[in-house]
């Protein structure tokens, strides 16, 4: 039975080479080929013995995602649809900044089981978890196509990362490894719909990854309706978990709030969000809702968003309005992939 080489964590790769009776330095060489040089085949790994390459090729296939569609926005944002060896597809977005930074938004699952009603990915359902290497590959591909080093990673693409916790964290450790991609932990953000056990596990990790929580509603009934995948986790328990996370880590949490007209943007919603933030070391990111074809949900007006922005800051809650990027290239999560698959 074969197993793709990039499904192994760094520690598992070291154990694998040991089981294959290889000296310890071989694992270092293999890891560098996979995640520093982004080798496309074992034939590229010229400092590995031919016999070892043959054995690895036969039992541990090296798969590299294929870019099946790529679009570039007028603002420089690049969006790719990647196809893996079994036909599963995901999206990756690379976002350049004027100050020289390059941020990659990567996916952790093909599809998503959360079923958020305002999300294009939620409409397609869940296909499978991505492996450790499949997550890292998205960042490596972005570097190659953008021609510069990735400085920031946001795990905000397709899927719920805490439902693929082990592979996600293993991938982020590769991205953070100073001998590999060397992306600072504080420049790596994990976004969750609010999977409480995952938040608790993250609070015990030694790396200082940043946590973002997709809140999107502060009334339980509203949140359950628009985010059915996390309906078993109450807002009360979520806040308790976030307080514990902040106490353990002393790190600020970002609360993501997609503003939806006549759904979660009333004056009462604003006051309830203000109350939810009380006592939390947090930052609120107000997000203009991306319009999804066939969806009844529409973005809040700019007047409403600006009012919320000013009101939250006036109440001592740091808040920003996210600058929407790539809207001219099906910028919402899942939109481009869905468009491609409709024509396949």
Q: In angstroms, what is the C-alpha Rg of the chain?
A: 21
- Exposed, middle or buried: residue 263 (CB in 10 Å: 0-12, 13-18, 19+)? buried
Q: Which residues contact 130 (CB under 8 A, 6 or more apart)?
A: 84, 90, 107, 108, 109, 110, 159, 164, 167
Where does residue 204 rank: exposed (0-12), middle (13-18), buried (19+ CB within 10 A)?
exposed
- Measured from the Cβ of residue 247, the count of other Cβ atoms closer than 10 Å reads 10
What residue has token string 């995948």?
229
Euclidean distance between CA atoms 49 and 209, whole angstroms: 37
Which residues are designated catalytic?
91, 333
Gap between the Cα atoms of 178 and 181, Å rounded: 6
- The pair phi, psi for residue 42, each rounded to 5°, is -65, -25
235-239-241 Cα angle (round to 5): 115
Report how far residue 48's alpha carbon sits from residue 26's, in angstroms, rounded to the nearest whole number. 7
**Is residue 158 a contact partner of residue 111, using CB atoms and an 8 Å limit?**
yes
């Amino acid at each position: 039975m074969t197993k793709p080489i990039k499904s192994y964590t760094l520690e598992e790769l070291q154990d694998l080479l040991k089981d294959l009776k290889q000296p310890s330095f071989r694992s270092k060489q293999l890891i560098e080929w996979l995640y520093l040089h982004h080798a496309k085949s074992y034939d590229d790994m010229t400092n590995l013995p031919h016999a070892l390459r043959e054995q690895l090729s036969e039992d541990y296939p090296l798969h590299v995602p294929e870019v099946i569609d790529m679009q570039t926005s007028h603002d420089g944002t690049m969006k790719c649809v990647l196809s893996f060896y079994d036909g599963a597809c995901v999206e990756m977005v690379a976002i350049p900044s004027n100050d020289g930074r390059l941020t990659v938004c990567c996916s952790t699952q093909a599809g998503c089981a959360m079923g958020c009603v305002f999300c294009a990915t939620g409409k397609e359902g869940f296909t499978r978890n991505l492996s450790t290497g499949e997550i890292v590959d998205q960042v490596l591909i972005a570097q190659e196509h953008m021609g510069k080093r990735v400085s920031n990673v946001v795990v905000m693409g397709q899927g719920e990362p805490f439902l693929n916790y082990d592979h996600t964290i293993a991938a982020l450790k590769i991205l953070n490894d100073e001998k590999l991609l060397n992306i600072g932990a504080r420049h790596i953000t994990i976004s969750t719909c609010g999977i409480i056990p995952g938040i608790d596990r993250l609070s015990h990790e030694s790396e200082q990854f940043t946590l973002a929580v997709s809140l999107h509603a502060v009334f339980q009934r509203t949140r359950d309706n628009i985010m059915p995948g996390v309906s078993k986790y109450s807002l009360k328990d979520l806040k308790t978990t976030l307080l514990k996370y902040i106490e353990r880590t002393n790190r600020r949490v970002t609360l993501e709030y997609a503003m939806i007209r006549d759904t979660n943007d009333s004056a009462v919603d604003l006051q309830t969000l203000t109350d939810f933030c009380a006592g939390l070391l947090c930052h609120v990111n107000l997000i203009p809702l991306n319009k999804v074809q066939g969806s009844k949900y529409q973005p809040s007006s700019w007047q409403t968003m600006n009012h919320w922005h000013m009101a939250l800051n006036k109440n001592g809650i740091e808040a920003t309005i996210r600058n929407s990027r790539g809207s001219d290239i099906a910028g919402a999560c899942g939109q481009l992939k869905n468009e491609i698959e409709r024509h396949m």
